[in-house]
Chains A and B, each alone.
Chain A
Amino acid sequence: MSKFTEDDLKKELETKEYEYGFYTDIESDKFPVGLNEDVVIAISKKKNEPAWMTDWRLDAFRIWKEMTEPEWANIRYKKPSFQDISYYAAPKQKPKLNSLDEVDPELLKTFEKLGISVGEQKRLSNVAVDIVMDSVSVATTFKKTLNEKGIIFCPISEAIQNHPELVKKYMGSIVPKTDNFYAALNSAVFSDGSFCYIPKGVTCPMELSTYFRINEGGTGQFERTLLIADEGSYVSYLEGCTAPTRDENQLHAAVVELIALDDAEIKYSTVQNWFPGDKEGKGGVFNFVTKRGLCEKNAKISWTQVETGSAITWKYPSCILKGDNAVGEFYSIAVTNNYQQADTGTKMIHLGSNTKSTIISKGISAGHSQNSYRGLVQISPRANNARNFSQCDSLLMGDKCGAHTFPYIEAKNKSAQIEHEATTSKIGEDQLFYCNQRGINTEKAIALIVNGFGKEVLNKLPMEFAVEAQKLLEISLEGSVG
């Protein structure tokens, strides 16, 4: 992996951007950092976007300019200076390597522990492969199958060109530009992301994975995902991968919008393993994500996430249960170690009658980390017989970390049934000795106990993902007990 300093990077960007000559009409000394209307226009132009999109971005930018960064999350960090960031980062090309020997040995070790195949290791670390790789042919077959079903799965930039009617109709309908600071920023400058449309009555025959997409483009700092499941359709979508993701960009602000029309179901699974910073907590990624889904009548959205990375995670995948009988689910494991901070949870907004939501949150804190659950269950006056069940469990390792639970409940309809359970536990010396006595060393014992703790959530992940996620939990907590 590259060992760029921020300055090297800026310099490199500068030269590249001049090379492509995108900024001819902007003062050169202001570039590439900083954000103004010209930069927004430039981003849009570079992507050859139609005028309506450019206007949309500009509108978002004007909204963002008036907003201030939120303060309320239970996290502490040095705020990024938004005028010191380059918003012009085209999807970055990782440096091409000739063989795995050139890859950071630490990274290779992690790959091995995760059980990632050699071919996959090469792909992830951008080693040039001369033979036709398996994943390429898999991706081709994959696309063919999707086409036959009428499923659209492409970069969002492509969707803006080819499916403007869908993008116009739905983008920003769930997470409006005005929603929050980071969402507004994302709306103005989003680099790329995924678009997915499942036609009426179609059950997507495979897990849709950004895995394939990242291959084509590289990840961006401001990703935008739009997923529409038309009436009666079903899709299971996987985001991220367990392999450690390093990025020179410290700030990440993604937006994900899900739309489940009548009788549709979306299962959205995330494994997030961004660079968490070193043992002292330096250099990790700040991850501010807005994820929200809308459920029409009888529709269901289920968010499952395993969060182990980032220095700071701020993220509340939410469901708006608009239609009657809609179902929202949130299953989450968030691990924090060393100096990581996570403030995550969900919002379940019950608007329709007989709507139902389930929240299972498992927080694991080790080292000096802080792990907060923040959840809102809101029952609107016309949501008759709405039901919610929430369970928030925290597992603490050592006595320097913290776990916090902030459940907010706003019930405006008397027929609502809301249940909330919370527990906090520690890994006991007795549990460890018991495992040791059976030949299981302490590190492995912790992994076992933690996986047991997170089982209800892990069980919700698609099979292959679950196996990798378990190993990931194991690795994330390595060295957390002395």
Chain B
Amino acid sequence: MLKVNNLHANINGKEILKGINLDIKAGEVHAIMGPNGSGKSTLASVIAGKEDFEVTEGSVVLNDEDLSELAPEVRAHKGIFLSFQYPVEIPGVTVTNFIKTAINETRKAQGMAELPAKEMLQLIREKADLLEIDRKFLSRSLNEGFSGGEKKRNEIFQMAMLEPQLAILDETDSGLDIDALKVVANGVNKIKSEKNAVLLITHYQRLLDYIVPDFVHVLYNGKIVKSGGKELAHELEEKGYDWLK
């Protein structure tokens, strides 16, 4: 489904990604771990099409289509979703209004009519319930004054609404308390199917107990230095990253 081929990316002339290869198939869960500053979020941003980064070599291919020239919103329309490590605030725009706009813009791009208000409401209720989100929360301004955990939960709520093909979750677990982690993981697992895929970025084994990965990759200094099965995460938890340097 998603192929990352020898991807190199710069910011302000500094190379951050130094030849990344990934092959994610439908139905799979991949986890990326790695020390701070190794380039995990950068990889997520580049896949999502953030223009601040300059791709100097390699490509990102979704369902055999090269995404290089596509704007971030077009990539989103094609089914890429990024749960941000640091979700931004948009004052005055409610969670409901935001997600409604996102859904209808995506539908429009796919040649579909806007979702009728009644169905939209129903969908919002259903997904809010899945993630145990209080209705009152939905009429608050997007991320404004949200606690760290609330922000993350809201990201996954949006993911549940948009049902992407490929969901990249950048440290969605950090900031979540143990109960919230279970709720969010459960939400992800419910949405997970044979048709979509998940790329998890995390520092902790804990999340991987709930969302079990098929593959674990270690990103170090802009390169994937080791890949393995879910056991690799346990090994990292025990030994840290030093032995991989």
Residues from chain A with a CB closer than 8 A to the CB of B88 are: 428, 430-431, 434
Does B241 touch A at the CB level, under 8 Å?
Answer: no
Specify which chain B residues have a CB less than 8 angstroms from the CB of A436 in the assembled complex: 49, 71-73, 76
Within 8 A of A (CB), among B20-70: 48-50, 52
Which A residues, 5 to 64, have Cβ-Cβ distances below 8 Å to chain B? none
The CA of A440 and the CA of B92, in the complex, are separated in Å by: 17
Q: List 5 interface pairs A-B (beta carbons < 8 Å), by A numbering.
A: A428-B88, A431-B90, A433-B72, A435-B90, A455-B92
Per-position contact with B for A312-328: 1 when CB-CB < 8 Å, else 0?
00000000000000000
- Please, what's the 1-or-0 string for A61-88, where 1 marks a CB less than 8 Å from any CB in chain B? 0000000000000000000000000000
Q: Is A140 an interface residue (CB 8 A)?
A: no
Chain B residues with Cβ below 8 Å from A455 are 92
Given A429-B52, A437-B76; A454-B92 close (CB under 8 Å): yes
Interface segment among B99-107, B127-135, B183-191, B227-235: the answer is: B99-107
Q: Mark A412-442, 1 if CB is under 8 A from B, else 0.
A: 0000000000000000111101111111111
**Closest A residue, CB atoms, query B89:** A431
Q: Are A441 and B93 in contact (CB under 8 A)?
A: no
CA distance A452 to B143 in the complex (A): 13
Report the Cα distance A449→B90, complex, angstroms.
7
Q: Is the CB of A439 within 8 A of B73?
A: yes
- Kindly state whether residue A460 has any CB partner on chain B within 8 Å: no
Q: Is B174's beta carbon under 8 Å from chain A?
A: no
Cβ–Cβ contact A437 & B48, under 8 A? yes
Residues of chain A within 8 A (CB-CB) of B91 are 452-453
The answer to the question of B77 belonging to the interface, with a C-beta cut-off of 8 Å to chain A, is: yes
Task: Tell whether A178 is near chain B: CB-to-CB under 8 Å.
Answer: no
Residues of B within 8 A of A428 (CB): 88
Do the beta carbons of A438 and B92 come within 8 Å of each other? no
Contact B77 A439 (CB under 8 A): yes
Contacts of B109 in A (CB 8 A): 439
Q: Do A441 and B50 touch across chains, with their CB atoms under 8 A apart?
A: no
Structural contact, A438 and B93, CB atoms closer than 8 A: no
User: With contacts A437-B76, A439-B102, A448-B97 known, what are 6 further pairs, Cβ within 8 A?
Assistant: A430-B88, A434-B84, A435-B73, A438-B105, A439-B106, A452-B91
Minimum C-beta distance from B196 to chain A (A):
16
Interface set, chain B 69-87, CB cutoff 8 A to A: 71-73, 76-77, 81-82, 84, 87
B6 proximity list for chain A (CB < 8 A): none
- Is A249 an interface residue when CB atoms closer than 8 A count as contact? no
Q: How far is the CA of A226 from the CA of B233 in the complex (A)?
A: 76
Give the chain A neighbours of B73 by CB distance below 8 A: 435-437, 439-442
Confirm or deny: B165 has a beta carbon within 8 angstroms of a beta carbon on chain A. Answer: no
Closest CB in chain A relative to B3 CB, distance in Å = 20
Q: Which residue of A lies closest to B72 (CB)?
A: A436
Contact of B92 among A433, A435, A451 (CB under 8 A): A451
Give complex CA distance A451, B101 in Å: 13
A444 at interface by CB-CB < 8 Å: yes
In the bound complex, CA of A455 to CA of B52 (Å): 30
A441–B92 Cα distance when bound, in Å, is 19
How near does chain B come to A364, taking the closest CB pair, in angstroms? 12
CA distance A454 to B91 in the complex (A): 10
Closest residue of chain B to A430 (Cβ to Cβ) is B88
Q: Which of B94-122 contact A (CB under 8 A)?
A: 97-99, 101-103, 105-106, 109
Question: How far apart are B144's CB and chain A's nearest CB, in angstroms?
Answer: 9
Shortest Cβ distance from residue A441 to the other chain B in the assembled complex, whole angstroms: 5
**Cβ B52 vs Cβ A448 within 8 A:** no
CA distance A5 to B162 in the complex (A): 53
Tell me, in angstroms, the Cα distance from A451 to B94 when the chains sit together: 11
Tell me whether A440 and B50 are in contact (CB under 8 A): no
The distance from the CB of B112 to the nearest CB of chain A, in whole angstroms, is: 12
Whether a CB of chain A sits under 8 angstroms from the CB of B10 is no
Q: B158 within 8 Å of A by Cβ?
A: yes
Task: Decide if B5 is an interface residue (CB 8 Å cutoff).
Answer: no
A458's nearest neighbour on chain B, judged by CB, is: B92
A210 to B72, CA, bound (A): 44
A433 touches B50 (CB 8 A): yes
- The docked-state distance in angstroms from the alpha carbon of A149 to that of B73 is 54
What 1/0 mask marks residues of chain B from 209 to 225 whose CB sits below 8 Å from any chain A CB? 00000000000000000
Q: Which 6 A-B pairs have the closest CB atoms?
A: A452-B92, A452-B93, A436-B72, A455-B92, A438-B102, A439-B76
Flag if A452 contacts B106 (CB, 8 Å).
no
Decide: B92 and A444 in contact? CB cutoff 8 A.
no
Q: Which residue of A lies closest to B109 (CB)?
A: A439
Which residues in B have their C-beta under 8 angstroms from that of A456? 92
Neighbouring A residues of B87 by C-beta, 8 Å = 434
Most buried by B among A428, A438, A453: A438
| Contact partner, B105, options A433, A444, A454, Cβ 8 Å | A444
Q: Convert B156-168 into 0s and 1s, putting 1 for each residue whose CB lies closer than 8 angstroms to a CB of A.
A: 0010001000000
User: Chain B residue with minimal CB distance to A393?
Assistant: B91
For A448, list chain B residues within 8 Å (CB): 90, 93, 97-98, 101
> What's the Cα separation between A440 and B73 when bound, in Å?
6
Instruction: Note all chain A residues with C-beta closer than 8 A to B97.
Output: 448
- The residue on A at minimum CB distance from B77 is A439
A461 CB, min distance to chain B CBs, angstroms? 15
Query: Which residues of chain A are within 8 angstroms of B92 by Cβ–Cβ distance?
Result: 451-456
- Cα A438 to Cα B102 in complex, Å, equals 6
**How far does the Cβ of B9 sit from chain A's closest Cβ, in whole Å?**
15
In the bound complex, how far is the Cα of B73 from the Cα of A120, in angstroms? Answer: 35
Q: Which of B145-163 contact A (CB under 8 A)?
A: 158, 162
With a CB–CB cut-off of 8 A, which chain A residues contact B48?
A: 437
The CA-CA distance from A430 to B77 in the complex, in Å, is 19
Residues of chain A contacted by B102 (CB below 8 angstroms): 435, 438-440
